[in-house]
Amino acid sequence: MVEKLNQHEVPITVACRRLGTSRSTYYYQSKREDEHLKEAIMEITYRYPSFGYRRITAVLKRQGFEVNHKKVYRLYKELNLQKSVKRREYKKKTTYGQPPAAEHPNHVWSIDIIEDRTKESRRIRILNVIDVYSRYVFTPLVDSSITGEKAARCFEELILQYGTPKVIVRDDGSEFRSREFGKVVKKYRIEEVIIPPGEPFRNSYVEHFHSRSREKLLSVEVFESVEDARKKSGRMD
């Protein structure tokens, strides 16, 4: 009963006085109960080595013990049972040079940015992402400025819609070196292959698409605005 009152934040001295019990008697009984409870905790831990103190508390309650998780945690620590869990940190894998051959959809994505101008010479930037295996060109991001944050947001939206690529091939542009873009790459555990400066031919699929885009779109259309470019860009197969 003293233990129940104490669980409701009633001081031990007050609880003993109310029940007409001396503190020495309470502590003696409490110690005996703790030893019994420790044995039960050890038995549960032996049977279920992966259980933490909260799951042990649940088992104890099913066994008829009147105990809360705070007391179980105290005894759990006294018994030196708390586990030190080390999370394995994912280290971003980056290589330079030749991209791997794509073996299936979502194996290798190629990503790059192309630029143009509106009728009034306002800059337009178009971020294209291509699935190398299927040659599928995802809906591009078209804007007057593409920051690392915008590139990261666009890239993650494509991942959520189409699935996660195993590898992305990109150049060393500031958008892709940004902290925001790096977070997305790390979050989804994507390997990066970076094309060295002056060797765009290594990112051949997206470069070929950009060549077609210049020939069939950028050299033909006159964009009134960024919004106009966004509408006309669409998706080129």
Query: What does pLDDT average to over the chain?
Result: 79
**Chosen CATH of 94-233 out of 2.40.160.40, 3.60.15.10, 3.30.420.10, 3.30.9.100:** 3.30.420.10
- 108-117 and 167-170 as β-strands: parallel, antiparallel, unpaired? parallel
Task: Report whether pLDDT(17) > 80.
Answer: no
Task: Report whether pLDDT(10) > 60.
Answer: no
pLDDT (tens digit per residue) in 160-170: 999 999 999 99
Instruction: List, by residue range, all CATH 3.30.420.10 domains of the chain.
Output: 94-233
Helix (H) and strand (E) counts in the chain: 10, 7
The DSSP symbol for 189 reads T
Greater confidence (110 vs 224) lies with 110
Q: Taking CA 187 as the corner, what is the angle to CA 181 and CA 190, rounded to the nearest 5 degrees?
A: 80
Burial 65-80 (b: 16+ CB within 10 A, else e): bebebebbbebbeeee
> Tokens in use for 135?
């040659």
- Tell whether pTM > 0.85: no
